[in-house]
Amino acid sequence: MSRHQDDAQPTIPEDSEVACTPAHIPIRQSPSEGSLTTNTNDNDHHSKESEKSPVLEDAQSSGISLPRVAQVDDVDESLATTDKAPWKTQLQTLWHWKPKAARYDPDNPPKFTIWMNMLFGFASCFTVSNLYYNQAVLNKIAETFHVTFEKASSVATLMQAGYCSGLLFICPLGDIFPRRPFILGLIAFTATLWIPLCLTTSFPSFSAISFLCGATTVTPQLMLPLVGDLAPPSRRASSLAVIVSGLSLGVLLARTLAGVLANFTSWRNIYWFGLGVQWLVFGLLYIWMPDYPSKNPDTKFNYFKMPVQIAQLLATEPLLLQAALVAFLHSGIFTSYWTTLSFLLSSPPYEYSQVVIGLFGLIGVVVIVCAPIYSRLIIDRLVPLVSAIMGLVVETLGVVVGTSVGSFNVAGPVVQAIMVDLGGQFTQIAMRSSIYGIQPLKRNRVNTAYMVVSFAGQLTGTAVGNRLYAQGGWVYSGACGIAFGGFALIICLVRGPREQGWIGWSGGWKFRRDDLPSKESETTTEEALEEAGVVGGDEENGQRGEDLENASTVRNGNDDRKKQQ
């Protein structure tokens, strides 16, 4: 290129553009200015070599503007503007770091063990407790904030309303986002937001924060679909029973602990306890919860369409609608009993104290703790509808007994509490086990539809039960529970366990599950797998158990088709 011509502007051929920078410096297009900047991963060695480039020195001394050429002198400035603050980088690194036990290997995915199941149950227990601490200390809250008891009770209402909002607007996101960071983020956010509840002296602030904490306390409803994903079909009911038992225990423990602490210390201490146990749950899940991948990573996310999709599921899935209606009526029985029980026991002929009335909540603890056992022995072996019918029969009979003798003998409410808890556990676990076979990629939305209808049943049972008790006493409210149980049984009977439509019993009356591996097929399948090289125990091959179950299921299905032919 000649530089001794007076006014001639030298030009650089377009194909010589690459020669303007060393070949080892990556070039990228700047989205804002249309120019190229050096990659932020380049080091200082690249910059020094760029400054010594004879082509660049020649062009710069001639005053030539180099379009789309990296200005190497700006490398440090570019790095300074694109690098994050050190504390942000460290925080992001810490957040994404996972212990060895929590790392997900698609070639060797983590096994869903009983200990993992217990961890999820523990987390569900002490996160759902957030919703019920306040119910036992509402009188203390009223005294502290100098408000009426009626106004203080709005805290419990707002917490439940927030929970319902979280079910509808947060839980469906579990189908889109990876579960580990999503669940950990919710727990950390709730625990941080919980601190003002321990300290604030403003009742409006306390009420507003209670609503927000209720909205983000949906971890148990994310755990249930996750367990439905991980547990094999033949053990799904017993695995779900651990989580459901954790939910029920969380309700009982929250009320009991809150009452005891408020009786002997400040009511704020139950909130400090809740804060500590939430961070404990966060730490345990951070260490042990595997980083399961998203189920729908490529799905186009439209937040505002999710409520419509949930409604469509209820309108297009007969099994989901059947299970949701049964859950609605069961929840009505449960809440109608427990909300009117305090009125009965505090009135003649009993006139029990609040402490004694509170102890009635512990009657069902044994039933709740034993739920995984009878789920494994009974519910896992039968089709879910049969187990649900069994539970509803027990539950309805319990209401009949309690209503008949409860007005004059305390044995009636005690028997009713045991039978309602036992039958309710059967019904809940069976119905949840059935709905998690619907559209596996949308299990969180399926669970949301189920829970929203169930929650509506709780509100209905409370309102109707209280109104009927005010009109006719214990017998009237008990009659409401009996009617709910009867309607639930009718809904179960109009659609069989293998019916694909809305009404009917096509597919037969067989009570045993179709996907249970028989001993003969399991032995044959095991021999075939050993011949194929799949040998060793579950510790050596984590997928062997599931392979056996899947192969046995296929074999049983083929046998059934041959029999039908």
What would the mean pLDDT of 30-59 be, rounded to a whole number? 43
Query: What residue type is 24 in one-letter code?
Result: H
Burial class (CB in 10 A: 0-12, 13-18, 19+), 324: buried
Q: Provide the 3-class DSSP secondary structure of residue 32.
A: coil
Structural domains in the chain plus CATH codes: 18-82 (no CATH), 111-301 (1.20.1250.20), 324-507 (1.20.1250.20), 519-532+543-564 (no CATH)
Q: What pLDDT does 445 receive? A: 86
Element housing 507 (H / E) = none
Radius of gyration of the chain (CA): 31
Confidence of residue 127 (pLDDT cuts 50, 70, 90): very high
Asked whether residue 186 carries a pLDDT value surpassing 60, the answer given is yes
Mean of per-residue pLDDT scores for the chain: 75
Asked whether residue 132 carries a pLDDT value surpassing 70, the answer given is yes
DSSP labels for 217-266?
Answer: --HHHHHHHHHHHHS-GGGHHHHHHHHHHHHHHHHHHHHHHHHHHHHHS-
CA dist 40 and 76 (Å) reads 9
Strand partners, 543: none
Q: What is the DSSP letter of 299?
A: P
Alpha helices in 361-436 (DSSP H): 365-369, 371-377, 384-405, 411-435
Query: What residue type is 112 in one-letter code?
Result: F
Q: What pLDDT does 516 receive? A: 59
Strand partners, 28: 37
Percent of the chain with pLDDT strictly greater than 90: 18
Element housing 326 (H / E) = helix 318-345
Task: Report cis status (omega within 30 of 0) of the bond before 349.
Answer: yes
Q: Rank 49-53, 370-374, 428-432 by mean pLDDT and report only the highest.
A: 428-432
Whole-model pTM: value is 0.67
Q: Rank 251-255, 269-273, 408-412 by mean pLDDT and report only the highest.
A: 269-273
Asked whether residue 401 carries a pLDDT value surpassing 90, the answer given is yes
Confidence of residue 153 (pLDDT cuts 50, 70, 90): confident
Q: What is the pLDDT of residues 279-313, one digit of tens each?
A: 999 999 998 888 887 776 666 667 777 788 888 88
CA dist 239 and 235 (Å) reads 6
Q: What is the pLDDT of residues 487-540, one digit of tens each?
A: 999 999 998 887 788 887 887 777 776 665 554 444 443 343 344 333 333 333
Helix axes 443-472, 219-230, angle to 10 degrees: 130
Which of 384, 443, 125, 423 lies closest to 254, judged by CA?
A: 125
Q: What pLDDT does 80 receive? A: 43
Return the number of other C-beta atoms located less than 10 Å from residue 258's C-beta: 26
Burial class (CB in 10 A: 0-12, 13-18, 19+), 64: middle
Asked whether residue 208 carries a pLDDT value surpassing 90, the answer given is yes
Residue 133 Cα distances to 126, 144, 167, 198, angstroms: 11, 16, 19, 12
Asked whether residue 547 carries a pLDDT value surpassing 70, the answer given is no
